[in-house]
């Protein structure tokens, strides 16, 4: 049994705290990177990161991408998302297939 962590600015994560997730509210990216290290040490299996914080810690998140846990998902922040989370998955797909043209076709 493991708990769920959310890393992001205060406005974005406050709601998750109300749901009983462990919200790490961080004012800036440096604090987010520190929080990430803590989160990994404490062995969370699911981590949500807001888009703006993810932008500053892509390298850290990449480090765990080939491990089975933690599962990291990028969520839009309170101010509205710019699709960074979707972009991240698209990059992974491109890496695997070499293109994402195939996927776009399938969707059309």
Partner 1 sequence: MEIRVNPNRMELLKLRRRLEIARRGHKLLKDKFDELMKAFLRLISENRRLRAEIEAELQLSYGSLAIARAEGGSLVLDEALSVPVRKAKVEVSTRSVMSVDVPKIDLVDAGEVGGYGLATVPAVLDEGLLQLSKLLPRLIEMAEREKAIELLAAEIERTRRRVNALEYVLIPSLSDTVRFVTMKLDENERANRVRLMKIKSMVEESM
Does 60 sit near partner 1 (CB under 8 A)?
no
- Answer whether 36's CB lies under 8 Å from 64's CB: no
Among 27, 41, 59, 68, interactor with partner 1 by CB under 8 A: 68
Give the C-alpha distances (Å, rounded to integers) separating 44 from 16, 84, 94, 107.
Answer: 15, 22, 28, 34
Binding marks (x or -) toward partner 1, 26..55, rule CB under 8 A? Answer: -------------------xxxx-------
Does 108 sit near partner 1 (CB under 8 A)?
no
Q: Tell me: cis bond preceding 98? Omega within 30 of 0 counts.
A: no
> Tokens in use for 19?
């749901």
Instruction: By CB under 8 A, name the binding residues for partner 1.
Output: 1-4, 10-12, 14-21, 45-48, 65-66, 68-69, 71-73, 75-76, 78, 80-81, 83, 85-86, 89, 92-93, 95-97, 102-103, 106-107
């Amino acid at each position: 049994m493991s708990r769920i962590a959310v890393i992001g600015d205060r406005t974005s994560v406050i709601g998750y705290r109300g749901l009983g997730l462990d919200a790490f509210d961080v004012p800036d990216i440096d604090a987010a990177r520190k929080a990430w290290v803590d989160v990994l040490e404490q062995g969370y299996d699911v981590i949500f990161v807001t888009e703006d914080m993810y932008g500053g810690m892509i390298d850290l998140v990449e480090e765990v991408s080939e491990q089975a846990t933690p599962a990291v998902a990028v969520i839009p922040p309170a101010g509205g998302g710019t699709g960074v989370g979707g972009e991240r998955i698209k990059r992974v797909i491109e890496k695997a297939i070499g293109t994402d043209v195939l996927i776009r076709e399938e969707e059309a």
